[in-house]
Amino acid sequence: MNSLIVRRILGGDVGAAARLMRDLDDEIPAARAALRGLYARAGRAHVVGITGSPGAGKSTLADKLVEAARRKGQTVGVVAVDPTSPISGGAVLGDRIRMQRHAADEKVFIRSLAARGSVGGLSRSVFDTVTVLDAMGKDLIILETAGVGQDGIKVAGAAHTVLVVLSPGQGDDIQAIKAGVLEIGDIYVVNKCDHRYSEQLARSLLLALEGTAPRDGWTTPIIKTEAVSGKGTRELLDVIGAHRSALVSGRAWERRSMNMARTAFMELLETGAREFISGELAREKRWRRTFSDLASRRADPHSAARSALRKLLNIKACK
């Protein structure tokens, strides 16, 4: 049964892929078993993460990048992590409608995932979804994350190339630049270049980036775009391709792939450990003594947690 699903997906069955992604999201064990077969066949796609301030134009840009990539004959997968906040509900609906124009193109696969309040704005099934798209043979996978700052930063561990999108006229831009995105961007995009303050933003970004050392033999460029009209998006796709070439020739591709594997692995370990611990703590009776010792200040939380971890995870030396 699983091998049938795997064969179907590898053979390009879009419906089977969509069903598997849904089942993975619902944590159905059979779906995970099918993923095993696909994982072995994945590993060729170029995963491009897009992060940036809310409303900077990430989705519009992703949509135009899909168009540019299709013109070049590339097949594309898009994973859009929707913010769960009800405020941005309208924007999400907008994204869907915008992206719908690619729905008839069987070489494009778009999947929206809810952020579900997980760390880094990356839902747990992001990695699984990317694996399915990769196994389907997509050349390019665009991963749009919700949020910036500490949240958006996690995308760096899930992509080969990280795009940081900023747009003028948003008070939080320089704040966002400071909040750690300067270390994660491989390509900076100043979007909304039709806006009168865009030059100013590009200048302050250039200044902020000055002195950051080139990473993997790549000097971080700043690309100006106007995503609504598509201006600059073809050039941006070329730069994305150039970054891939730089990674491959400098042997950094393997390093990044390894880091992505590590992030996905770590995410599963953390979730597994958290679930295990929650399950254990739910057995109230066993812990009542600990809780009451803590509440009455007979024990302190650090020592109690250390000793509980030692017991639960069988760790010999726990810091």
Ligand X SMILES: Nc1nc2c(ncn2[C@@H]2O[C@H](COP(=O)(O)OP(=O)(O)OP(=O)(O)O)[C@@H](O)[C@H]2O)c(=O)[nH]1
Chain residues in the site for Mg ion (CB under 5 A): 58-59
Q: Which does 88 bind (CB under 5 to 8 A by kind): Mg ion, ligand X, none?
A: ligand X
CB of 227 to ligand X, least distance (A): 4
Based on CB atoms, which residue is closest to Mg ion, 2 or 88?
88
Q: How many residues bind ligand X (CB under 6 A)?
A: 17
The residue (of 105 and 172) whose beta carbon lies closer to ligand X is 172
Least Å from the CB of residue 183 to ligand X = 20
According to the binding rule CB under 6 A, does residue 228 interact with ligand X? yes
User: Is residue 192 near ligand X by the rule CB under 6 A?
Assistant: yes
Q: Does residue 59 belong to the site contacting ligand X (CB under 6 A)?
A: yes
By CB under 6 A, name the one of 88, 112, 257, 259 that touches ligand X: 88
CA torsion sign, 215 to 218 to 221 to 227? negative
Look up tokens 């389907």; give the residue: 136
CA distances from 239 to 162, 186, 190, 205 (A): 12, 10, 14, 18
Q: In angstroms, what is the minimal distance from the CB of 89 to Mg ion?
A: 12
Rg (CA), the chain: 22
Q: Encoding tokens for residue 152?
A: 């958006």
* The binder of ligand X chosen from 226, 237, 246, 252 (CB under 6 A): 226
- Name the minimum Å distance from CB 246 to Mg ion: 27
Residues 6+ away with beta carbon under 8 Å from 126: 79, 81, 113, 143, 158
Which DSSP symbol is given to 226? B
Taking Cα atoms as reference points, which of 7, 41, 13 lies closest to residue 135? 41
194 binds, among ligand X, Mg ion, none (CB under 5 to 8 A by kind): ligand X
| Residues 6 or more apart in contact with residue 186 via CB below 8 angstroms | 161, 162, 163, 215, 218, 220, 243
Residue 191 near ligand X by CB under 6 A: yes
Would you tell me which residues interact with ligand X (CB under 6 A)?
54-60, 88, 91, 94-95, 191-192, 194, 226-228
